[in-house]
Amino acid sequence: MLTGLSAFFFLSSYIPLIKLDFWWIRIFDYPRFQKLIIHLLLIGGWWLFGDDRTENLIWTSLLGIGSIYLFFQVWPYTFLGKRMIDRVPYDPQKGIHLMIGNVYQYNRKFEKALNLIRQRDPDFIFLVETDQAWADAMEPLHDTYPNRILVPLENTYGLVLYSKLTIVKQSINHLIDEDIPSLELDVRLRSGQIITIYAIHPTPPVPNENPTSTDRDAEILIVGKKSKANPKPSLVIGDLNDVAWSYTTSLFLKVSETADPRRGRGFYNTFHAKIPLFRWPLDHVFLSRHFGLSSLKVLPGIGSDHFPIELKATLTANDTTDTEEATPEEEVEARAKIIKGHENQKADQD
C-alpha cells in the first residue's frame, strides 16, 4: 500500500506539466499544497514502516525530490515569496472596496449573504451562480447600491453586480460560450478617475460540465489581453475555476500584465468552504500596475461551497506593483488557446 500511494502521489506532482486540456490532467493543478503535505507524510511512513533499506532509500529520495519541487511551486503564495503589490493606505476617494463571491446557486441562506454585505459595506459586489431567487433575495440592496447589472440564470452561470460607484459604461459579453456571460464595465471612482472592471466566471474542467479546460483557459486569456490593451487602470475579478499557481493563471498574469495580491502574502483559499482538507484559491482579484493593495481578506461563509473574498485597492502614482511580461512564445501559446476555445464552441454549435 505504501508503495502504491508513493508512486501515485509522486507522479501526481508532475502530471500538471503535461500541457493537455483534459480534465483528468488539469484537476491535478489544484491540490498542490495538499500533495506537498502527503509527500512529507509518506516520507515519514517509509522511515517508520519500511522494512527494506534499499526500497526505503529509493522512495524517500524520490518523495524528497517531489517535496522540494512542490515547495517551490507554492512558496510564492506564502509569506516567503516576493510580493507583486505593495501595501498602501486605503484612500476612499482614489480606491475601491469590493467583495466577490460564488453563492452556490442551490444555497438558500440569502439572509446570511445580506448580513455579511451589510457588515462589510463594500462599494462594489460581484456574485456568481445567482439564479432568479438570488436576484430577488438581494433586492434589499437596491437602495444602497443604485447601480446594478443583473443577469440571473438557472444554469449556475448567473451574475449579479451592485455598485455604489457610478457605472459609466457596461457590456454583457459571451466571450466563448453563449450560455456563459461575463461583464466589462467602466466605473467612476469618487475622485473622478475611470477604471475598468472585468468580471468573469468561466466553466470548470470537470466531467459533468466540461471535459477539458479549453473554454476556461480561452476566456481567461481573452480577458487578459483586453486588460493589457486597456490604457485605463483595470481589475479582473471572479471565480476563475482555476488556482493561483496553475500554468494558465501564470500565463494570464503575463499576458494581462496584471498582479496577483496573493503573491508573498498567503493562499487566501476560497474553496471548498465545507471541506477544510481540500481548500485552494479559486476566487480572484487581479490588479493592473496602477493600483496598490490596501487589504485582502477571506470572509466568513454564507452557506456556499466558496468563501467570499474582499479587497481594498487604491490608485497610486508610485511604482508599487511588479508585473510580468509574456515572452513571444507565450504570446503565441495564448493566442493558440484562444483560437482553440473558439473552435471548440463552433464545433459544439455545429
SS (H, E, C) 156-179: CCCEEEEECCEEEEEEEECCCCCC
**CA 112 to the chain's CA centroid:** 23
Q: What is the pLDDT of residue 350?
A: 59
**CA 330 to the chain's CA centroid:** 20
Dihedral over alpha carbons 121, 126, 132, 133 (to 10 degrees): -40
Across 13-140, the runs of DSSP E, i.e. the strands, are 95-102, 124-128
Q: Which residues of 271-282 are buried (b: 16+ CB within 10 A; e: fewer)?
A: bbbeeeeebbbb
Residue 43: closest CA among 240, 105, 275, 35: 35
Instruction: Give percent helix, percent strand, percent coil of the chain, each to the nearest 5.
Output: 40, 25, 40
Q: What is the pLDDT of residue 50?
A: 76
Q: What is the pLDDT of residue 139?
A: 98
Dihedral over alpha carbons 130, 135, 138, 140 (to 10 degrees): 170
Residue 47: closest CA among 71, 64, 67: 64
- Say which residue the cell 477571506 belongs to: 298
Compute the chain's Rg from CA coordinates.
Answer: 21
CB 67 within 8 A of CB 36: yes
- Report d(CA 306, CA 273) in Å as an integer: 5
Q: What is the pLDDT of residue 210?
A: 87
What are the C-alpha distances in Å from 129 to residues 47, 86, 246, 282? 47, 32, 23, 14
For residue 294, the one-letter residue type is S
Q: What is the pLDDT of residue 216?
A: 96
- pLDDT means per 10 residues, the chain with 350 residues, are 90 91 92 95 89 85 95 92 94 98 98 98 98 98 97 98 98 96 98 98 90 95 97 97 94 96 96 94 96 97 98 86 90 95 77
Angle in degrees, CA 184, 187, 188, rounded to 5: 165
Residue 94: closest CA among 186, 191, 188: 191
The reply to whether the predicted model has a pTM over 0.85 is yes
Q: What is the pLDDT of residue 240?
A: 96
Q: What is the pLDDT of residue 230?
A: 97
Judging by DSSP bridges, how do beta strands 147-151 and 124-128 pair with one another? unpaired
- Report d(CA 6, CA 22) in Å as an integer: 24
Q: What is the pLDDT of residue 349?
A: 65
